[in-house]
Amino acid sequence: MQARRSRLLPAATALAIALFAQDAAAQQAPPPAASAQPAVQPAKPAPIDPVAIEALKGMGAYLKSLKAFELRSKAVAETGVGDMDIKVHLGYEGLYKVQRPTGFYVQLKSDRAVREYFYDGKSFTVNVPRQNFYSTVSAPPTIRDMVDKAYDDYGIDLPLSDLFYWAEQPTTDGITTAIRIGYAKINGQEADQFAFQGPDLDWQLWIARGKAPLPLKIVITDRVDPMHPSYSAELTWNTAATLKASDFKFTPPVKATSIQMSKIAEDQ
C-alpha cells in the first residue's frame, strides 16, 4: 500500500480502535508476578485480525478477476497550503475505464481543473483540456508497470492507483494492524468496515458483502507528514462495462499544443 492523500479517522472509529487494542492486550497479558518490584513487560504487538487480512486478500483476488470495469469516484483530499499551518479540503470526481492488461483512461475533474490520462499499452498521455495542451511519452506494456513509471519518472501519482496494485499483486506486507470495525452501508450497499495500519499510513476500507467484494469506500491518512494529509473516496463500480480500444487512445484536438513531459531528475 503506497502513501496517498486521505481523511483522518473519525473520532468514534479511532476510539473503537483504541478500545479494541487495549482489550486485546489485556487478554494476552500474563498474571502479575508475585514480587515487590513489578516485572517490566515487553510491548504488546498490535492486533492482526485474520478476518481483516482475509477480507483484503479476497478483495484483491476479486479485483484481479475483473478484465474490464468502469469506476466512478467522489473524493476529498485534505492537505496543507504551501508552508502555512492550515488545511483545506479539495473535492473532485473521478472516472476510470480499465481494460487489463494494457489500457486505462482516467479523468479527474474539480471546479478548477480537469486532467485526463490515457494509456493504450504503447503510449501514455496527460491531457489538460482547459489549457489546451497535452504531453505524450512511450509506455511499458502493462498497467502496473505504467503506474510505476508515471510515479517514478514523472512524479505522477494517480489517485486510487492502489487498486491496480491490489489487483496485479495482492500483498499484506507492511501491515502492522488489521481489524474489523463492523457492519456498514455505503450508498445503500451492505459492507464491512476495516482499519489497517502500516509504518507510514492509517487506512480504512469498506468492502462490499456478497460474491463481489469490491471496495466501496477508502480513507487513507499519511502519519509521517506533520500536516497528516489525507484522502477519502466513495466508489461506484460497473463491472459489466463495454469498453473499446478507442477509449484509451488519445487523439489531440486540432488546436491543442504538445509539450514535453518533464522527468523528476530534470527538475532536480
Cell of 141: 506494456
| Torsion of the alpha carbons at 29, 30, 34 and 40, rounded to the nearest 10 | -60
Domain extent listing, the chain: 46-254
pLDDT digit string (tens) for 124-138?
Answer: 999 999 999 999 999
pLDDT band at 10 (very low <50, low <70, confident <90, very high): very low
Q: How far apart are CA 193 and CA 186, in angstroms?
A: 10
Q: How confident is the model at residue 45, as a pLDDT?
A: 61
* Summary mean pLDDT of the chain: 83
- The set of residues, in sequence order, having a beta carbon less than 8 Å from that of 139 and lying 6+ positions away, is 119, 120, 121, 122, 123, 124, 146, 149
Q: Assess contact for 196 and 175: CB atoms under 8 A.
A: yes
pLDDT at 159 over 60: yes
Percent of the chain with pLDDT over 90: 63
Determine whether domain 46-254 maps to CATH 2.50.20.10: yes
Q: What is the pLDDT of residues 174-231, one digit of tens each?
A: 899 999 999 999 999 999 999 999 999 999 999 999 999 999 999 999 988 888 899 9
Scanning the structure block, which residue is given the C-alpha cell 469498453? 243
Q: How far is CA 28 from CA 31, 32, 50, 259, in A?
A: 10, 12, 17, 60
